[in-house]
Copies of this chain bind each other. A is one copy, B any other.
Amino acid sequence: MSVRVQAGGRPWNRLEWTALDEPARRRALTRPVQVVAETTRQAVAGVLETVRARGDEALRELTARFDRVELERFEVDTAEFAAAEAAVGAELRRAMAEAAARIEAFHRAGMGRDYAVETAPGVVCERIVRPVPRVGLYVPAGSAPLPSTALMLCVPARLAGCREVVLCTPPRADGTADPAVLVAARLAGVGRVFKLGGAQAIAALAFGTASVPKVDKIFGPGNSYVDEAKRQVAQSGAAAIDMPAGPSEVLVIADAGADPAFVAADLLSQAEHGPDSQVLLLTDSAVLLDRVEAELEAQLSALPRADIAARALSASRLVLVESLEQAFAISNAYAPEHLILALREPRAWLDRVEAAGSVFLGDWTPEALGDYCSGTNHVLPTSGAARAWSGVSVASFQNFVSVQAASREGIAAIGPCAVTLARAERLNAHANAVALRLRRAGA
């Protein structure tokens, strides 16, 4: 990247938008390189084929190789659930229950619902909602276990009423699953958990094995192997997926009145996810930008995961823009996963948001609230996918089936239209199926 590097060895990049030419602007909005290496693609294809062909035996071998643990049985049993319940403290348990309740309240209100319209006399068209029958949820445990992700996936799956809900999460070194993930799953009503990680977990869910049930759709974030495995099973038609997944990212639009400490804290909280996290700040105030830089330096040095955050910040951009209008145009072109509006009148600007995963309004709404417990989902489109994908919702776990019912009167009303169109498309059997009934109906 040929972006200007800060003097003084600061790990982030400060840019002035109006000073950039078109190619430099394009570079400034380019995500950290995410091209899947051919070796990753082939390794994942190999794992998928191995699990498809040899099932549980292959899962045992791959788990030994990648997770460095020998497992005879993958499914978490009653004893392990009981141990997890005992291991998780009351405060964490309470926080998970509280978060689950708000996630449920928000998601329940947005569930897909049936509706019906009489489109012509005697013709009723309906949409009926059905749960996706069998779903698989993937809860990663990369640098830290993520019980919050278990809540974000299990709660809407249960609300949708999916017949079979199966969760996979990588085993720890001792062969157990993270206790908080297990408690979160149970809190949300999911009782089948398999200790499987990586591409082999996705393969097991897509194809099924003797011990792992095959599912219709796979949900959840993951590293580049998990993402590549999801893309491959989706392409082959083995299972549908919630969305492509990439590194997490935030874009903050801040005005002169924003609190620089808050802004810096939000940028860092995104950056600590991993070295490939992407962090952007757009502001029309050079003074605020200076003050955010000072805050970043101060806060960065105090973080336990400062090394990761500093590496993530190296791909970040702090951008001085001419106006907030320009900031929104840039944001819409970038289509961020998380969009923080650190503005004095954030709601007044909301209409300008064209593409984003989740939006955070004002100084008192850090991204971390949405990550955990405001009620919205944190499984969101990354890498610009927000232009055509939405975050996980109950609808992600539902199918929408159309239904039509015509009476004799109904086919008399609309049948001639169908016959005309069928003949124009030279589909004579279509025309016949209608014309035959029109004759019988005496129309």
* Residues of A near any B CB (own CB < 8 A): 91-92, 94-96, 98-99, 102, 105-106, 109-110, 115, 117, 119-120, 123, 125, 127-128, 130, 132-134, 143-148, 180, 216-217, 231-232, 234-235, 237, 239-240, 244, 259, 261-262, 265-266, 268-269, 271-273, 299, 303-305, 309, 332, 346-347, 350, 353-377, 383, 385-391, 393, 395, 399-408, 410-411, 414-418, 420-422, 424-434, 436-437, 440-441
- Residues of B near A427 (CB, < 8 A) are 144, 269, 272-273, 305, 368
A369→B434 contact, CB < 8 A: yes
Going nearest first, the 5 A-B pairs with the smallest beta carbon separation are A240-B388, A119-B375, A361-B405, A95-B420, A376-B402
**Beta-carbon nearest neighbor of A408 in chain B:** B364
Q: List 21 A-B contacts (CB under 8 A).
A: A92-B420, A95-B421, A98-B417, A106-B125, A130-B353, A143-B426, A144-B425, A144-B427, A217-B387, A259-B440, A269-B432, A272-B429, A360-B403, A360-B404, A364-B408, A366-B434, A369-B418, A370-B404, A376-B402, A391-B400, A395-B400
Task: Determine whether the beta carbon of A414 is less than 8 Å from that of B369.
Answer: yes
Residues of chain B with a CB closer than 8 A to A370's CB: 402, 404
Across the interface, name the chain B residue whose C-beta is closest to A228: B235
Q: Which of B132, B180, B269, B377 contacts A429 (CB 8 A)?
A: B269
> Does A105 contact B132, Cβ atoms closer than 8 Å?
no
**Chain B residue nearest to A403 in the complex (CB):** B359
List the B residue with the shortest CB-CB distance to A299.
B432
User: Chain B nearest CB: distance from A262 CB in Å?
Assistant: 6
Q: Are B399 and A386 in contact (CB under 8 A)?
A: yes
B-chain residues with CB within 8 Å of residue A359 when the two chains form the complex = 128, 401-404
Whether A105 pairs with B92 at a CB distance below 8 angstroms is no
A376 touches B125 (CB 8 A): yes
Are the CB atoms of B364 and A437 closer together than 8 Å? yes
